[in-house]
Amino acid sequence: MLQGWIQIAMTLLILVAITPFLGRYMARVFQEQRTIFDPILNPVERLLYSLVGVRTREDMTGWQYARAILYSNVVMGLLIFSIITLQQFLPLNPTGIPAPTWDTALHTTISFITNTNQQHYSGETYLSYASQMWGLGYHMFTSAATGIAVGIAFIRGLTGRPLGNFYVDLIRAITRVLLPISIAGAIVLIAAGVPETLAGPVVVPTLEDPAISQAIARGPVAHFEIIKELGENGGGFFAINSAHPFENPNGWVNLIQLVAILSIPTSLIYTYGIYANNLKQAWLVYSIPLAILVVFIIITAIGEYNGNPAVNALLGVDQAPNLEGKEVRFGWAQSALYAVITTASMCGAVNSLHDSFMPNGGFSTLSNMFLQIVFGGQGTGTAYLFAYLILAVFVTGLMVGRTPEFFGRKIEKREVVLASFLILLVHPIAILIPGAIALAFPDQLSGISNPGFHGLSQVIYEYASAAANNGSGFEGLGDSQPSPIAIAGGAATTTTALWWNLSTCFSLLAGRYVPIVALLLLADSMSRKQPVPATTGTLRTDTGLFTGVTIGVILILGALEFFPVLALGPIAEAFQIARGIG
Amino acid sequence: MTSMNDFPRPYHVPSGTRESRRHTPKVEMKGLYQRAIKESFVKLNPRIQVRNPVMFVVWVGTLVTLLLTFDPNLFGTLQADISQQRLLNGLITFILLFTIVFANFAEAVAEGRGKAQADALRATRSDTIAKKILPTGGVQEVSSTELRRGDQVKVVAGDMVPADGEVIAGIGSVDESAITGESAPVLKQPGTDIASSVTGGTRLLSDELTVRITTDPGQGFIDRMIALVEGAERTKTPNEIALTVLLAVLTLVFLIVVANIPPITGYIAGFLSTASSEQAAADLRNGASVAIMISLLVALIPTTIGGLLSAIGIAGMDRVAQFNVIATSGRAVEACGDINTLVLDKTGTITLGNRLAAEFIPVNGHSLQDVAQVSLDASVFDETPEGRSIVALAERSGAKASFDPNLAEGVEFSARTRMSGTDLDGKEIRKGAVDAIRGFVRSRGGHVPNTLDAAYERVSKLGGTPLAVCQNDDIYGVIYLKDTVKPGLKERFDQLRRMGVRTIMLTGDNRITASVIAEEAGVDDFIAEATPEDKIEVIRNEQAQGKLVAMTGDGTNDAPALAQANVGLAMNSGTQAAKEAANMVDLDSDPTKLIDLVTIGKQLLITRGALTTFSVANDIAKYFAIIPTIFAATGIGALNVMGLKSASSAIISALIYNALIILVLIPLALKGVQFRPLTADQLLRRNILIYGVGGVIAPFIAIKLIDVILPFS
Amino acid sequence: MLETIAEIGSEWRRQKLPLYLFLGLCFNLILAPAVFAATSGNLSRTQAYWLGALVILTVALAIYLFFVMFVPERF
């Protein structure tokens, strides 16, 4: 038991230790200061800018920035959609997979451009290497970089600077943050045993009966894997994601993955501290998601460590870790840690089946995605966190007898509309409404495998994962169409899969672009405000007191709206298990 | 280097403490509550309710539960005793109705108090017969309501002044007690900035005045104030607007949350009917019945602040009116709370208006007696309090008026010469700013003794104003005019500093005098030897740094600065131009009231913030009361930490609490949260503890208590 | 007679609420049968109409609140 807790603590310590270095580095990159990559990258970037015709010195307004994101995302979306639907005509398709159904292709496209990587397919049997590398792998960089750009633009706006230029931010995020780390990381992963090959599946005779052979899927996994984690994408090369021994062969790779997942969203808070010239506030803000993260890890790990009393009764022991749906090489601690971190940051890679977690796990992972600020998505998580701060300033700031200000910038109608819209409204609309519809027609639409409280969690999880752009699945839903090969062989498509593909598209889009536009407009209006100098009458936002107040506001405003579904889902399930029925 | 007010204007300083002068409505408050109760039912009109989003949702919910009282199975058949359902739905309807009525009552009481205030004011404005001067020169008696801007009227002793205006002829004393509560009559005469404006509703006590009317009927300050305190012209302030957005979003969020519960419970109920029992499924379906969902919605949406928001705003205006200040908009009152910098004139605001002669300092070898005599001669025609105090001091020093005033000629003070004095038998006797006298003597060929500078410096270092006196080319000495800082100001400035408000003193005095007074009064900064142009410059500089500035003023040359300032408080005794430019007018003409206004503005914001926090914090307890009991069939009954008796009892208790808390908080909303001059951090800690943590805990206790008292199973 | 029609016409343009109510009820003609079908016999036809009306009312309230959110000055 102790070993497990030590593993968890060490991982978190490494993350905290990395934060200042990566945070400072990213600040240098986006403040266009000198970095070690300048000699190689400056000419490359200049070439890119002149090819594309980007006027690099031109700052964008919030609307321009948002439009640039939307247009470029539409173009990228069309590209990925055509690659997937045309994969049978493209090279690098050793197994000759035909195009998947249109709804699967659409869902996959939207899921990857929104940095979600929710997968209603299995990589091995649905997509060719070309689709995986050119379609998905490419978007793992661009969608992550889009997120970072939004985060940086938001930080700039909040600290009173112009928002910057989206294209420049996008390119710098890729060339100076994502690519260098990915290249180094992929090499380390290859060394640690992750395959990287364009050869098709290897066919080997089985040990039991050499007459029977087995095809083992492989492919260009290592480079895909590192950006999957670093960019908080989470879309696995193989269906079972990081539980697959080729994606995540051992504890060492597992650690690299965990650190890669959280490194950028944690460091961005530090980057804010440098921009705002207030590292004290950066660390205080940092402590909010860290505290919530630690609480969720403890809740989840305790549940997994104690195991299922019903199973334990059968085994005749008082306590045995819940290992259902887990890889034995990771055990309860690494699995619980991975599950919480992957849902806290909006990565969505999984190294165990979240469906098989004890209700504690369901509670933590769901809450993580409802809040989406427990470090949260690439760039957007940090921005949400500060939007919460703005909301906390507004709700409690009046109590000091002044119009609420955030670093001297008055919070007025426009800011309240944008912040409350984005923080409070998008999620209930994108999660609860489709969730309620799916649950109203459980047989026709949902295809729930575990009816009851757990089935409720499955449905809500799927939409929460889509709306928060997380992408992990609780699984257990009839959300996949048959593979293209199976369809070619005569398998029928299902309505439930069609419903899931289309309804989650709504949540994916609403959960990504509405907040991004709102965040950019919010940053824009904050940056245009004349700052008021601070006095003793000004509410200071960089104090422990205010940090505590913000946690309260996050819990009351962000979490309470989901209390009814949590009560009927994981909480009711926990009581059910405690009573010993089902 | 011109000096503005070495010779101060005679500020009108009201007597008595501020509390004793506080203007209490003279109209009886009896019947206020009866009228408010009646009003709170009249306000159930949907046209009125639709303007308050939170309460409108409650109103619609009440209609639906009313329908459900008649037919509990309206939206689906519940497996429960129909008469019990009817009773429960009836109770819910009743409590929801009273939630709205209580909120209406809060608003009605606030409005009623405003009306009482307005009636008291209106009484002063009642129609009077005005003697209008016709173009032909004749006089016609007309009703005061027929007077238009530019008309001229004659007012004789005993008459009411029919409307706001400016004296253009005559001199007379006016009783302004109806407006200011100050009983001493005020002298009015044409020409001077201060004393020439008269307010409608005041009474002329002596002599006769010709007044040019400066406002159309219904446009006077009193009319504006009446409209404001009655709430007739109430427009939302920026903060109220932002808060309305937040409340609408919260309401919408909970509407979505609650609307989605029935399908979700429907699914769970379907599961329970197979996994557990039909009874459990029916219980869960009953728990998610439409009436209970409406109750849950009403409990969760911020009804407390939603119901009290307008009452808080009206009461804030009312408090301003009670301080005898007319604000032209709620926005101005709110801005008072945001003020970063107060720009204050020294004279009349920081120091008592009247500087008194304290000592004669002879120079140039003259005797004390000589200086006293020359000072007396120079001040014979000076009617300002300073002038009279010089005469008094000179007489105490043994000087006597040595000439017939009819043979002499007074020389008026002007801002250009900065001197006044007397011309007598070819002798030019002058007193004035040391610089000015020095120039005067030099121009007459006299020489300036070194001892003058020493005397000047000595007086300045004492914080006094030095005035030099001379006769022709001979400087006799320096008069030490002593300035007295108003008692208690230092403490108030300390409080302001703790609240983050900086004070800047403007004075025409020299740098040394200014620094001494600034030190004594405890202001943060001062501008010495300031001209009227400096005033607007200071304001612009502060605003360029993003600060909000408040200032007071009364003269015509203050008007641009009053307009530039974020909060401009004009004195009622001031000129029409100043009053037009300002966004507030103080009827008592007390410049220090600006400090009270800052407090009122802050109090208004704090009250709103505190009730919002309280309202939001209450949701935790309401959730824990309602959700575990209505979903008890799913086995989460252990979350019922309060141990409430049943779902019905929990719902009713939460709703009763929800309605009663509005009623309980009405006095707080009307009086405002008590304001303490603390730093922002201290205020936040204190208010979070009371309204945040208190808001989490209080409903747990209250709902449990109501549940215990309720005769419900 | 003609005047009455003209008056109704002008009132129609001025008073939006009856129009919205009418449109809501019309919409319910589509919604209620859907509700009735979806609940597969648990509801009577009348209850389905009432439930449909309740759904429309909820949506109308949500639109109203959205409106308040974007133009709070008018409330």
| pLDDT digit string, tens, across residues B490-503 | 888 888 888 888 89
pLDDT(B5) > 60: no
pLDDT(A327) > 80: yes
For residue A417, the chain C residue with the least C-alpha distance is C69
Instruction: Name the band, by pLDDT with cuts 50, 70 and 90, for residue C13.
Output: confident
Output the pLDDT for position B221: 64
Round to whole Å and give the CA distance between B665 and B698: 13
Does the CB of C47 have a partner CB in chain B at under 8 Å? yes
Point out the residue among A417, A440, A441 whose CB comes nearest to the CB of C69: A417
The residue among B654 and A480 whose pLDDT is bigger is: B654
CA distance C69 to chain A (A): 7
Lowest mean pLDDT among B188-197, B380-389, B524-533: B188-197
CB atoms inside a 10 Å sphere around CB A283: 18
What is the token pair recorded at B691? 């309204």
The ranges assigned to domains in chain C are 16-74
CA distance C68 to chain A (A): 10
Does the CB of C54 have a partner CB in chain B at under 8 Å? yes
- In tens, the pLDDT along B104-141 reads 999 999 888 888 877 776 766 656 778 888 888 788 88
Say if strands B419-424 and B409-411 run parallel, antiparallel, or are unpaired.
antiparallel
Most confident of B1-5, B352-356, B560-564: B560-564
Active site residue B423: no
Point out the residue among B51, B249, B252 whose CB comes nearest to the CB of C75: B51
- CA contacts within 13 A on the Cβ side of A256: 26
- In tens, the pLDDT along B333-378 reads 888 888 889 888 887 778 776 778 888 888 888 888 888 888 888 8
B216, B244, B270 — which closes off a domain? B216
Residues of A in contact with B601 (CB under 8 A): 401
Q: Are residues B203 and B160 in the same domain?
A: yes
CATH number at residue B400: 3.40.1110.10
Q: Which of B557, B560, B555 is nearest to B571 (CA)?
A: B555
Q: Are residues B618 and B562 in the same domain?
A: no
Which one-letter DSSP state was computed for residue B674? Answer: P
What is the token pair recorded at B572? 């009622």
Q: Are residues B266 and B159 in the same domain?
A: no
Round to whole Å and give the CA distance between A165 and B617: 41
Output the pLDDT for position A389: 93
Instruction: Name the band, by pLDDT with cuts 50, 70 and 90, for residue B180.
Output: low
Residues of C in contact with B53 (CB under 8 A): 64-65, 68, 75
Lowest mean pLDDT among A267-281, A335-349, A497-511, B68-82: B68-82
Does the CB of A421 have a partner CB in chain C at under 8 Å? yes
Does the CB of B255 have a partner CB in chain C at under 8 Å? yes
The residue among B517 and A516 whose pLDDT is bigger is: A516
Report yes or no: B534 and B481 within 8 Å, Cβ to Cβ: no
- Bridge partners, residue B477, by sequence: B362, B469
Q: Are residues B498 and B549 in the same domain?
A: yes
Does the CB of B60 have a partner CB in chain C at under 8 Å? yes
Report yes or no: A8 and A301 within 8 Å, Cβ to Cβ: yes
Q: Are residues B330 and B463 in the same domain?
A: no
- In tens, the pLDDT along B596-622 reads 888 899 999 999 999 999 999 999 999
> Could you tell me if residue B124 is inside a domain?
no
pLDDT(B165) > 50: yes
Question: At A472, phi and psi to the nearest 5?
Answer: -70, 160
What is the token pair recorded at B636? 């989460």
Round to whole Å and give the CA distance between A155 and B404: 80
By the 10 Å C-beta count (0-12 exposed, 13-18 middle, 19+ buried), B660 is classed as middle
Round to whole Å and give the CA distance between B55 and B52: 6
Contact flag A417-C38 (C-beta cutoff 8 Å) = no
> Could you tell me if residue B19 is inside a domain?
no
Q: Are residues B556 and B704 in the same domain?
A: no
Contact flag A413-C69 (C-beta cutoff 8 Å) = no
Does the CB of C69 have a partner CB in chain B at under 8 Å? yes
> Could you tell me if residue B578 is inside a domain?
yes
Does the CB of C41 have a partner CB in chain B at under 8 Å? no
| Span A287-311, average pLDDT | 94
Residues of A in contact with C72 (CB under 8 A): 413
Does the CB of C58 have a partner CB in chain B at under 8 Å? yes
Does the CB of A398 have a partner CB in chain B at under 8 Å? yes
| Biggest distance spanned by C-alpha atoms of chain B | 120
Contact flag B255-C68 (C-beta cutoff 8 Å) = no
B482, B499, B525 — which closes off a domain? B482
- In tens, the pLDDT along B245-262 reads 999 999 999 999 999 999
Round to whole Å and give the CA distance between A412 and A402: 12
Does the CB of A539 have a partner CB in chain B at under 8 Å? yes
CA distance B260 to chain C (A): 11
CB atoms inside a 10 Å sphere around CB B23: 18
Total domain count, chain B: 4
Round to whole Å and give the CA distance between A19 and A518: 27
Contact flag A440-C38 (C-beta cutoff 8 Å) = yes
For residue C56, the chain B residue with the least C-alpha distance is B259
Does the CB of A556 have a partner CB in chain B at under 8 Å? yes
| Span A128-154, average pLDDT | 91
pLDDT(C56) > 90: yes
What is the token pair recorded at B590? 């007390």
Round to whole Å and give the CA distance between B167 and B210: 6
> Could you tell me if residue B73 is inside a domain?
yes
Q: Give B582-625 as a DSSP string.
A: -SEEETT--TTHHHHHHHHHHHHHHHHHHHHHHHHHHHHHHHHH
Lowest mean pLDDT among A75-84, B158-167, C44-53: B158-167
By the 10 Å C-beta count (0-12 exposed, 13-18 middle, 19+ buried), B115 is classed as buried
How much of chain B, in percent, has pLDDT values that exceed 90? 29
Helix runs in B185-232, H state only: 221-229
Q: Are residues B418 and B501 in the same domain?
A: no
Q: Are residues B95 and B237 in the same domain?
A: yes
pLDDT(A220) > 60: yes
Point out the residue among B75, B242, B245 whose CB comes nearest to the CB of C54: B75
What is the token pair recorded at A565? 């579904």
CA distance B261 to chain C (A): 13
What is the token pair recorded at B108? 């009605």
> Could you tell me if residue B121 is inside a domain?
no
Point out the residue among A394, A560, A568 whose CB comes nearest to the CB of B265: A568
Q: Are residues B197 and B101 in the same domain?
A: no
How much of chain A, in percent, has pLDDT values that exceed 70? 100
Round to whole Å and give the CA distance between A77 and A112: 8
pLDDT(A580) > 80: no
Does the CB of A252 have a partner CB in chain C at under 8 Å? no
CATH number at residue B156: 2.70.150.10
| Span B432-457, average pLDDT | 86
CA distance C30 to chain A (A): 18
Q: Are residues B238 and B109 in the same domain?
A: yes
Total beta-carbon pairs less than 8 A apart between chain A and chain C:
6
Output the pLDDT for position B6: 39
By the 10 Å C-beta count (0-12 exposed, 13-18 middle, 19+ buried), B311 is classed as buried
Question: At A308, phi and psi to the nearest 5?
Answer: -90, 120
CB atoms inside a 10 Å sphere around CB A50: 10
Average pLDDT, chain B: 84
Round to whole Å and give the CA distance between B394 and B368: 10
- In tens, the pLDDT along A354-396 reads 999 999 999 999 999 999 999 998 899 999 999 999 999 998 8
pLDDT(B161) > 90: no
Chains that touch C (3 or more CB pairs under 8 A): A, B
What is the token pair recorded at A67? 């439009």
- Bridge partners, residue A295, by sequence: none
pLDDT(A98) > 80: yes
Does the CB of A55 have a partner CB in chain C at under 8 Å? no
Q: What is the pTM of this model?
A: 0.88
Chains that touch A (3 or more CB pairs under 8 A): B, C
- Domain of B369? 356-482
| Span A471-499, average pLDDT | 87
CA distance A564 to chain B (A): 7
Report yes or no: A511 and A466 within 8 Å, Cβ to Cβ: yes
Instruction: Name the band, by pLDDT with cuts 50, 70 and 90, for residue B14.
Output: very low
Q: Are residues B85 and B103 in the same domain?
A: yes
- In tens, the pLDDT along A20-60 reads 999 999 999 999 888 888 888 889 888 888 888 887 778 89
pLDDT(B384) > 80: no
Instruction: Name the band, by pLDDT with cuts 50, 70 and 90, for residue B29.
Output: low
CA distance A213 to chain B (A): 44
> Could you tell me if residue B264 is inside a domain?
yes
Does the CB of C17 have a partner CB in chain B at under 8 Å? no
Round to whole Å and give the CA distance between A373 and A344: 7
What is the token pair recorded at B218? 């219904």
Give which of B237, B253, B265, B595 to mutate to test A binding, by max A Cβ within 10 Å: B253
> Could you tell me if residue B225 is inside a domain?
no
CATH number at residue B572: 3.40.50.1000
B181, B216, B251 — which closes off a domain? B216
How much of chain C, in percent, has pLDDT values that exceed 90? 25
Selected catalytic residue, list B338, B345, B377, B483: B345
For residue A433, the chain C residue with the least C-alpha distance is C59
CA distance C62 to chain A (A): 11
CB atoms inside a 10 Å sphere around CB B158: 9
| Span A322-332, average pLDDT | 92
Element (H, E) at B198: strand B197-198
Does the CB of A420 have a partner CB in chain B at under 8 Å? yes
Q: Which of B296, B309, B312 is nearest to B619 (CA)?
A: B296
Contact flag B290-C72 (C-beta cutoff 8 Å) = no
- Bridge partners, residue A519, by sequence: none
CA distance C14 to chain B (A): 15
Give which of C69, C70, C71, C73 to mutate to test A binding, by max A Cβ within 10 Å: C69
Q: Give B326-361 as a DSSP string.
A: EES-HHHHHHHHH--EEEEETBTTTB-S--EEEEEE
Residues of C in contact with A440 (CB under 8 A): 38
Residues of C in contact with A417 (CB under 8 A): 69-70
What is the token pair recorded at B583? 């966004």
- In tens, the pLDDT along B53-70 reads 999 999 999 999 999 999
Report yes or no: B713 and B649 within 8 Å, Cβ to Cβ: yes
Contact flag B242-A416 (C-beta cutoff 8 Å) = yes
Output the pLDDT for position B124: 61
Residues of A in contact with B340 (CB under 8 A): 532-533, 535, 537
Output the pLDDT for position C21: 85
Query: In 3-state terms, what secondary structure has residue B165?
Result: strand
> Could you tell me if residue B595 is inside a domain?
no
Q: Which residues of C have a CB under 8 Å from any CB of A? A: 38, 69-70, 72
Report yes or no: B261 and A562 within 8 Å, Cβ to Cβ: no
- Please measure the distance between the N-terminal and C-terminal CA atoms of chain A and give it in whole angstroms: 28
How much of chain C, in percent, has pLDDT values that exceed 70? 96
What is the token pair recorded at B531? 């001209």
pLDDT(C18) > 70: yes
pLDDT(B18) > 60: no
Q: Give A365-400 as a DSSP string.
A: HHHHHHH--SS-STTHHHHHHHHHHHHHHHHHHGGG
Point out the residue among B267, B497, B612 whose CB comes nearest to the CB of A440: B267
